[in-house]
Amino acid sequence: MFAMMENARLEALHLAQDTATGLRAIIAIHSSKLGPALGGCRYLAYPDDSSAICDAIRLAQGMSYKAALAGLAQGGGKAVLIRPPHVQSRAALFEAFGRMIESLNGRYITAMDSGTSSADMDCIAQQTRHVTSTTAAGDPSPHTAMGVYAGIRATARARLGGDDLQGLRVAIQGLGNVGYALAQQLAAAGVELFVSDLDVGRVQLAVEELGAQRVSNEELLTTPCDILVPCGLGGVLNPQTVSELHCAAVAGAANNQLASAEVADELEARGILYAPDYVINSGGLIYVALKHRGEELPAITAHLAKIGQRLTEIYAHAQADKRSPARVADALAERLLYGS
Ligand code: NAD
């Protein structure tokens, strides 16, 4: 365990259990160099404890990188709550988790993530103020979409010679909370949209409301387009899928799009510009972090707009160094976090 922590340069790992409610929680604090650690809490079943701990550590490290490059005075953390097969009271379990967070005196701030909802955050908020994305704080997804939109414009500027999106062909995989809000903005900018989703109802809505063209889930990644926008699950870019892409750039919201770090080099070798996922999708984090600090919407929107600038800088570095933007982003984040 300590080797794993050392490898990820993890600051601290906190474990707690509460027999009365069935809580078994892991809080990984990757770094608090730039500020208190902020990151979502997952509530999922895991095959064993060590895979839950690995997940928490890996995700906490990702949050540090994301916060650092988003220019937030925030460190990276993540919590994993191991979902029991049966729970008597979900509310009581999340309240117990709230007490665990409170015991850390603000070193970790939690938020909604896979398997949790704003209602769960409301239960946590009964016990601690170190929680965001409650019902009152609001859904971060539209802000993630706004940031991705700014990132797509920066990507078009760098790869296609201009940020006027009118007439560009954009293929979106996944029309969920982020993907659909983004599709609305892109349609308003005059983009020709190609869309797919496992949920046929979402696709139908985009066809009717936004004039999008339906593409099967199997064909979306190989659709000829200017920009491919993954907004579904992670891991969509692997050696096989990258060899079959027909796009000039990939710029989407999905977390962990690259199946491995080497895939970024393969994209680069094919001349496909890749917007590092944790940079372009940081709008949600920016929203929850600034909202938690009591910032008003205009200040949050101004901060979101910087995502485009940050990507432009990363693309310029990448071009100068002939490296993938993903490698450049990692190096920049590591400099901010470790000074190396
Ligand atoms: P969501 O669950 O609301 O939507 C995901 C959509 O993708 C669903 O409609 C699902 O049916 C579809 N989908 C999944 N796999 C697909 C496939 N193979 N082909 C076509 N469609 C597929 O999730 P979301 O909140 O919109 O988030 C989308 C992605 O962005 C996720 O990877 C998430 O981790 C990431 N992200 C979200 C936020 C946020 O603020 N919500 C912030 C940062 C990153």
Write the pLDDT tens digit of every residue in 61-74.
999 999 999 999 99
Q: Can you tell me the mean pLDDT for 158-169?
A: 96
Average pLDDT value for residue range 269-295:
96
pLDDT > 90 in the chain, percent: 96
| Residues 141-338, CATH architecture | 3-Layer(aba) Sandwich (3.40)
Mean pLDDT value across residues 94-105: 98
**Ligand 1 pocket residue status of 173, Cβ below 6 Å:** yes
pLDDT digits (tens, 9 = 90+) for 2-22: 999 999 999 999 999 999 999
**Model confidence at 82, in pLDDT bands (50, 70, 90)?**
very high
Q: Which helix (H) or strand (E) holds 51?
A: helix 49-69
Q: Using the mean position of ligand 1's atoms as its centre, give its distance from the Cα of residue 187 in Å.
A: 19
Q: Does residue 114 line the site of ligand 1, with CB under 6 A?
A: no
Residue 234 CA to residue 83 CA, distance in Å, equals 21
Does residue 340 register a pLDDT over 80? no
Q: Any idea how long the chain is? A: 340
pLDDT, mean of residues 181-196: 98
pLDDT tens by residue, 240-249? 999 999 999 9
**What pLDDT score does 264 carry?**
97
Instruction: Check if the beta carbon of residue 245 is closer than 8 Å to that of residue 222.
Output: yes
CB of 144 sitting under 6 A from ligand 1: yes
Is a pLDDT exceeding 70 seen at residue 93? yes
Annotated catalytic residue 33: no
> CATH number of 2-60+73-125: 1.20.140.10, 3.40.50.300, 1.10.10.10, 3.40.50.10860?
3.40.50.10860
pLDDT above 70 covers a percentage of the chain that reads: 100
CA 179 – ligand 1 centroid, Å: 7
Is the CA virtual torsion 117, 119, 123, 125 positive or negative? Answer: positive
Residues of the chain with CATH 3.40.50.720: 141-338
Distance CA 43, CA 89 (A): 14
For residue 286, which of 299, 268, 269 has the smallest C-alpha distance?
A: 299
Nearest C-alpha to atom 31 of ligand 1 is from which residue? 254
The answer to whether the CB of 141 is under 6 A from ligand 1 is yes
Instruction: Indicate whether 80 pLDDT > 70.
Output: yes
Give the Cα separation of 332 and 312 in Å (integer): 13
Q: Are 76 and 22 in contact (CB under 8 A)?
A: no
154 CB less than 6 Å from ligand 1? no
Q: Are 194 and 170 in contact (CB under 8 A)?
A: yes
Amino acid found at 168: L
User: In terms of DSSP H, where are the helices of 141-258?
Assistant: 141-160, 177-188, 200-210, 239-244
Q: Would you state the structure tokens that stand for residue 231, as one six-digit string?
A: 């907004």
CA-closest candidate to residue 60, choices 100, 81, 17, 31: 31
Question: The whole model's pTM is what?
Answer: 0.94
Query: Whole-angstrom Cα distance, residue 303 to residue 147?
Result: 9
Q: What is the pLDDT of residue 242?
A: 98
Nearest atom in ligand 1 to the alpha carbon of residue 284 is 40
Q: Whose CA is nearest to atom 1 of ligand 1?
A: 176
Which atom of ligand 1 approaches the CA of 256 most closely?
A: 32
Helices 49-69 + 283-292 axis angle, to 10: 80
Residue 199 CA: nearest ligand 1 atom is 11
With cut-offs at 50, 70 and 90, classify the pLDDT of residue 233.
Answer: confident
Please say if the pLDDT value at position 295 is more than 80.
Answer: yes
Query: Where in the sequence of the chain do the CATH 3.40.50.10860 domains occur?
Result: 2-60+73-125
Determine the Cα–Cα distance for residues 162 and 117; give it in Å rounded to an integer: 39
Q: What is the C-alpha separation between 233 and 219, in angstroms, rounded?
A: 16
β-sheet with 213-214: strand ranges across: 213-214, 192-196, 169-173, 227-230, 249-250, 273-274
Q: Taking a C-beta distance cutoff of 8 angstroms, is the pair 132, 111 a contact? A: yes
Query: What is the structure's pLDDT at 234?
Result: 86
Average pLDDT, the chain: 96
The arithmetic mean of pLDDT across residues 268-285, rounded, is 97
Would the pLDDT of 148 be above 80?
yes
